[in-house]
């Protein structure tokens, strides 16, 4: 995770971003701190990447890379406003002993590449180039399922779909093309389906550890559906970060199957 110390909306690269509307950086920090504290309380280790001035979207760490089996496929951002995040995150990976491959094609990390138990679900349509899907399959040795996003308000896959536990997901059908909706129904017939109201408050931009699901508190109906499915939803207020088009999942990049602290003294940060 990366704290929103320099958070603001000074440009627009998605429909949620309106630079003319004021932002409250101290409030964004308070909300982010609460999310981080909840993850720690649930027993997860949270490593913090130092923020850099002039990179207001660096708080959205999930876009920085996809990490599976200790291997990193680093993002290649579509918009120049985010190019500076790449060296910042790659420096952290290098410092902590991760092998890093820089993506050849535009690829916005876990924004559009969401690993499940058996495959990687991969979004395209607004940010990640569809050619990046084959690149991810080659790098990680996993099958990749391409899903086409068609609603600009759900510009990344992680705004329209969340992996809950291995092969359990929740998603908003209206964010996907008809063919992709059919594919999702075939692959995940028991998936939780969100309505547009819950999707529009970024209810699907959630962090799940297989039991607990952290999601925006405004996603009322989705919260109840998660309880009915046997999960424990925990609601958080991330309204300030939503002004830039991000919520819980955008703020957290999962590091899979690698201990960056092996042989090092514990770091309480």
Q: Please identify which of the residues 6, 156, 212, 258 carries the catalytic annotation.
A: 156
Is pLDDT of 267 > 50?
no
**For residue 263, what pLDDT band results from cuts at 50, 70 and 90?**
very low
Q: Please identify which of the residues 2, 6, 250, 258 carries the catalytic annotation.
A: 250
Task: Write down the pLDDT at residue 38.
Answer: 98
Task: Write down the pLDDT at residue 117.
Answer: 84
Q: Specify whether 130 is catalytic.
A: no
Instruction: Please state the φ and ψ torsions of residue 219, each to the nearest 5 degrees.
Output: -85, 70
Instruction: Encode pLDDT of 48-89 as tens digits.
Output: 999 999 999 999 999 999 999 999 999 999 999 999 999 999
**Structure-block tokens of residue 250:** 């955008």
pTM of the model: 0.94
User: Whole-angstrom Cα distance, residue 53 to residue 62?
Assistant: 19
User: Whole-angstrom Cα distance, residue 142 to residue 113?
Assistant: 12
Q: What is the DSSP string of the chain?
A: ----TT----S-SSTT--TTS---HHHHHHHHHHHHHHHHHTT-----PPP-TT-GGGG-GGGGEEEETTEEEE-B-SSGGGTTHHHHHHHHHHHTT--EEE-SS-B-GGGTEEE-SS-EEEEESSSS-THHHHHHHHHHT--EEEEEB--TTS-SGGGTEEEEETTEEEE-GGGB-HHHHHHHHHH-TT-EE--HHHHHTTTTS-EE-SSEEEEETT-HHHHHHHHHTT-EEEEE--HHHHTTT--TGGG-----S--TTTTS-----
Task: Write down the pLDDT at residue 201.
Answer: 97
Task: Write down the pLDDT at residue 260.
Answer: 43
Is pLDDT of 140 > 50?
yes
Instruction: Encode pLDDT of 183-230 as tens digits.
Output: 999 999 999 999 999 999 999 999 999 999 999 999 999 999 999 999
92's CB contacts (< 8 A; 6+ apart) are: 49, 50
Is pLDDT of 19 > 60?
yes
- As a whole number, the mean pLDDT across the chain is 95
Mean pLDDT on 89-109: 96
Instruction: Encode pLDDT of 241-253 as tens digits.
Output: 999 999 999 999 9
Task: Write down the pLDDT at residue 258.
Answer: 59
Q: Name the residue with tokens 């607990």.
A: 212
**Structure-block tokens of residue 42:** 């649930």
Q: Specify whether 156 is catalytic.
A: yes
**For residue 269, what pLDDT band results from cuts at 50, 70 and 90?**
very low
Q: Domains of the chain, with CATH numbers?
A: 25-251 (3.75.10.10)
**Structure-block tokens of residue 187:** 């692959």
Question: In this structure, are residues 216 and 162 in contact, taking their beta carbons and an 8 Å threshold?
Answer: no
């Amino acid at each position: 995770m990366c704290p929103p110390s320099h958070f603001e909306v000074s440009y627009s690269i998605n429909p949620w971003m309106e630079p003319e509307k004021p932002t409250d950086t101290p409030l964004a920090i308070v909300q982010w701190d609460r999310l981080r504290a909840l993850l720690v309380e649930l027993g997860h280790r949270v490593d913090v990447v130092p923020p850099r001035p002039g990179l207001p979207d660096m708080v959205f760490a999930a876009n920085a890379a996809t990490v599976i089996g200790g291997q990193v496929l680093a993002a290649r951002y579509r918009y120049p406003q985010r190019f500076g995040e790449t060296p910042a995150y790659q420096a952290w990976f290098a410092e902590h002993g991760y092998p890093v491959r820089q993506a050849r094609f535009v690829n916005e990390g876990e924004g559009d590449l969401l690993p499940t138990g058996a495959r990687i679900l991969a979004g395209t349509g607004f940010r990640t180039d569809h050619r990046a899907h084959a690149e991810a399959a080659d790098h990680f040795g996993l099958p990749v399922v391409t899903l086409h996003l068609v609603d600009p308000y759900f510009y990344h896959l992680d705004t329209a779909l969340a992996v809950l536990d291995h092969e359990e997901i929740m998603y908003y059908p209206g964010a996907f093309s008809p063919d992709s909706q059919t594919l999702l129904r075939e692959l995940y017939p028991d998936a939780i389906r969100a309505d547009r109201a819950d999707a529009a408050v970024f209810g699907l931009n959630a962090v799940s550890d297989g039991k607990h699901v952290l999601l925006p508190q405004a996603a009322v109906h989705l919260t109840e559906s998660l309880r009915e499915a046997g999960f424990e939803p925990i609601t958080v207020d991330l309204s300030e970060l939503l002004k830039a088009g991000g919520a819980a999942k955008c703020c957290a990049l999962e590091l899979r199957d690698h201990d960056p602290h092996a042989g090092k003294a514990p770091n309480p940060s």
